């Protein structure tokens, strides 16, 4: 097994100098060598008043979490483990959009680094390269008076990792498996922050900016046009609604909108 490139110092330096190319995402940006879960840390920071855009990146996590209580393997120096705090003030009904637009942002960021075609979003929260999972998104929000007051967007993006445990082999991939370039996690992080800012701004702006975002999402979403079973809703996924719901044409002829769940 070849050793991981040591781009840790570059991540640390990026955090010390701050993200220069964004207006709010990653301003400020903090770096830690190891923590339990960056989502837990950023949720705590949000309770202490951290501002929209605050982000934390870790070199390793000891209790990285995925959706549905799953473990997110977070080995030292291998990948990006990032949490971004946003204070979107959108309605609870609109909140599934956040994970989706983050998926689109990741796809756009990843396009800058991989030679591969087939960088897609699997509804609602996975980034895939050639149908293998390259990143996962875990959004944890706090609602106040019917609006999403704070949301912590947790992003686990596989960058360098090539050795997969048996349960992930064949279904997981990393950027490095799809490029000849030597990647630096710091450069990937800058791209992720830039694209998250662009996509979230468009979502919050609404109107034509949001419609363009949904169109871009629909054309990137590899779930659309396929047969799905979303927690018992079975049929063909046919589109994404303005609030991020997946439209499913069910086998019984009905059309259902699914706001959350796991696609099988
Ligand atoms: C999933 O696909 O199930 C979502 C995975 C999200 C993992 C990231 S890593 C950074 C942040 N901290 C965590 O504990 N989880 C998220």
pLDDT at residue 194, as a whole number: 98
Domain with CATH 3.30.930.10 in the chain: 8-220
Pocket test for ligand 1, best of 64, 151, 153, 185 (most atoms within 8 A of CB): 64
Note if the pTM is more than 0.85: yes
Composition of the chain by helix, strand, coil, percent to 5: 30, 30, 40
Residue 66 Cα: closest atom of ligand 1: 3
Ligand 1 pocket, residue 81 CB under 6 Å:
yes
Q: Phi-psi category of 156—alpha, beta or left, where left has phi over 0 and alpha has psi -120 to 50?
A: beta
Q: What is the pLDDT of residue 71?
A: 94
Atom of ligand 1 nearest to the CA of 39: 12
Is 103 near ligand 1, meaning CB less than 6 Å away? no
Residue 70 CB–ligand 1 contact under 6 Å: yes
What is the number of other CB atoms lying within 10 angstroms of the CB of residue 135?
29
pLDDT at position 26 is 97
Provide the CB-side half-sphere exposure for 83 (13 A, CA).
30
Which pairs from 142-148 meet CB under 8 Å and 24+ separation? 142/43, 142/46, 143/92, 146/91, 146/92, 147/89, 147/90, 147/91, 147/92, 148/88, 148/89, 148/90, 148/91, 148/92, 148/94, 148/95, 148/98
Query: What tens-digit pLDDT sequence spans the chain (264 residues)?
Result: 567 778 999 999 999 998 899 999 999 999 999 999 999 999 999 999 999 999 999 999 999 999 999 999 999 999 999 999 999 989 988 888 999 999 999 999 999 999 878 999 999 999 999 999 999 999 999 898 889 999 999 999 999 999 998 999 999 999 999 999 999 999 999 999 999 999 999 999 999 999 999 999 999 999 999 999 999 999 999 999 988 999 999 989 999 999 989 999
Cβ burial, residue 218 (10 Å; 0-12/13-18/19+): middle
pLDDT at 49: 96
Q: Is 87 in the pocket of ligand 1 (CB under 6 A)?
A: no
| DSSP-derived secondary structure letter, 69 | G
Which pLDDT score is estimated for 258?
Answer: 94
Q: Which CATH class is domain 8-220?
A: alpha beta
Q: What are the phi and psi torsion angles at 223 (to 5°)? A: -80, -30
Q: For residues 106 and 109, what is the distance between their CA atoms, to the nearest angstrom?
A: 5
Give, for 149, the enclosing helix (H) or strand (E): strand 147-157
Ligand 1 pocket residue status of 89, Cβ below 6 Å: no
Query: 72 CB less than 6 Å from ligand 1?
Result: yes
Backbone φ and ψ of 67, nearest 5° = -70, 160
Distance 41 CA to ligand 1 centre (A): 13
15 bridge partner residues: none
Q: Is the CB of 186 under 6 A from ligand 1?
A: no
Evaluated on CA atoms 103, 202, 81, 10, the torsion sign reads positive
Ligand 1 centroid–CA 83 distance in Å is: 8
Residue 67 beta carbon below 6 angstroms from any ligand 1 atom: yes
């Amino acid at each position: 097994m070849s050793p991981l490139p040591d781009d840790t110092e570059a991540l640390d330096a990026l955090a010390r100098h701050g993200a220069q190319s964004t207006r709010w995402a990653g301003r400020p940006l903090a770096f830690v060598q190891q923590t339990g879960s960056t989502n837990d840390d950023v949720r705590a920071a949000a309770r202490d008043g951290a501002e929209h855009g605050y982000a934390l990146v870790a070199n390793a996590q000891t209790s990285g979490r995925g959706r549905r209580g799953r473990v997110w393997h977070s080995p030292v120096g291998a990948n990006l483990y990032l949490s971004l705090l946003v204070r979107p003030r959108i309605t609870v009904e609109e909140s599934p959009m956040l994970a989706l637009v983050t998926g689109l942002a990741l796809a756009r960021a990843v396009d800058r680094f991989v030679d591969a075609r087939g960088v897609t979003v699997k509804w609602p929260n996975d980034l895939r390269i050639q149908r293998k999972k390259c990143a996962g998104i875990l959004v944890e929000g706090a609602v106040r008076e019917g609006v999403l007051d704070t949301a912590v967007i947790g992003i686990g993006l596989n960058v360098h990792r090539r050795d997969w445990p048996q349960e992930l082999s064949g279904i997981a991939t990393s950027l490095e498996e799809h490029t000849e370039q030597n990647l630096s996690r710091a450069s990937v992080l800058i791209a992720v922050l830039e694209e998250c800012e662009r996509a979230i701004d468009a979502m919050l702006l609404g109107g034509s900016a949001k419609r363009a975002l949904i169109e871009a999402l629909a054309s990137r979403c590899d779930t659309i046009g396929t047969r799905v079973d979303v927690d018992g809703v079975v049929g063909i996924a046919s589109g994404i609604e303005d609030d991020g719901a997946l439209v499913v044409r069910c086998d019984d002829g009905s059309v259902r909108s699914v706001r959350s769940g796991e696609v099988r």
